[in-house]
Amino acid sequence: MIGLLAAGGVVGTAGLVAAPELTQAEQYSAEWWRDVLLDVPLRLAGLILIAVVTRYLLHKFINRMVRRTVEKEPPKAVLGSARAARIVFGGAGAYSERRALRAETMGSVLRSITTVLISAIAVVTALEMLGYAVGPVLASAGVLGVALGFGAQNLVKDFLAGSAMLLEDQYGVGDVVDMGHAVGTVEAVSLRITRLRSVDGTVWYVRNGEIVRVGNSSYGWSRALLDVHIPADADVSRAKRLLEEVVTDLAADERWSELILEPPEVWGVEDLTADGVLIRVVIKTKPLEQWGVARELRERIKRRFDAERLTLPVATESPAQAGGDPTNPPPASSGSAPPVIPPHEP
């Protein structure tokens, strides 16, 4: 009996010793399963899901704001006609095509910025979840950023100038601009460079940080400006009357009336020369339409003066408007800006 009790005590003691070892193994296996196979992967998956959803919502918000701006139309019902709305709100107002293009450009930039920021935050957070020390990484990135900032000052300057240009809406795609060394039609605008195409097909890439001044020939509205040269012995009053009739007929023409924003004006004698008299004619037009209107006006003036037997030595465009046509822009100049004759108000 005593032997049996002793044997049972030994077996019980052995069981008490072996049981904790099995429980500890099971506990280790459960912790490993939870921490390694479930905790970190699930947290990473949640992080990725949050980043994707956040990016989607921000892009959707940006696209909605851009779409509202692009699809906004002037209140034609209130003003009575589309032409009245165009005149009242102007070419650079809240309903213009320029504003729509600007909104699309800014929307593209904002989408890119949000994508980069969300991706950077997600990567740093994922490294921290995996157990890596992100402090030294961020410190190294800061030092590297400072070094790159000193080494890439021109690049930073280009981006800052491009951001200011977009915010101020100095020019946009389709505008005819004069940047000094490069003149032509704007084909693309980014934060770093502006791409122009000249009349001979040459493509110019201009860094935004190097742009000192810009002459925009198509911002908001344009003006066809002609100085009609008549002989010194011609009747000025008669010439002015004929010019007024010509511009009035042009504005009443259905084909050209949509391009003309205001009634044309004959300002009068602009200059007296040894060869004759210059009479200035001006027509306010839609952007980029001043050259076509000026060509039609020259042709009509020539026909009318020939019919009236009034000698017309030459009908030239004002130096202030010479060139600039998207099909015939002024030549690129390496010096200072060309002189501009201020308009003479009647």
pTM for this structure?
Answer: 0.54
- The candidate with the shortest Cα–Cα distance to 275, out of 316, 319, 217, 214, is 316
The whole-number pLDDT of residue 334 equals 38
pLDDT at 91: 46
Q: Are 190 and 178 in contact (CB under 8 A)?
A: no
* Amino acid 10: pLDDT: 45
Q: What is the pLDDT of residue 52?
A: 94
Bridge partner list, 269: 279
Q: What is the pLDDT along the chain (346 residues), one digit of tens a residue?
A: 444 444 454 444 444 444 445 465 555 555 655 665 667 778 888 899 999 999 999 999 999 988 887 776 555 544 455 555 555 444 444 445 667 767 777 788 788 889 989 998 898 888 888 877 777 777 777 777 776 666 677 787 888 888 888 778 788 888 889 888 888 988 888 888 899 999 888 999 999 888 888 888 877 788 888 888 888 888 888 889 999 999 999 988 888 888 888 889 899 888 888 788 889 999 998 888 888 899 999 999 998 888 888 776 544 444 444 444 544 444 443 343 333 334 444 3
CA distance 208 to 162: 6
Helix (H, G, I), strand (E, B) or coil at 192: coil
CA distance 270 to 276: 11
Quote the CA–CA distance of 198 and 185 in Å, as a whole number. Answer: 7
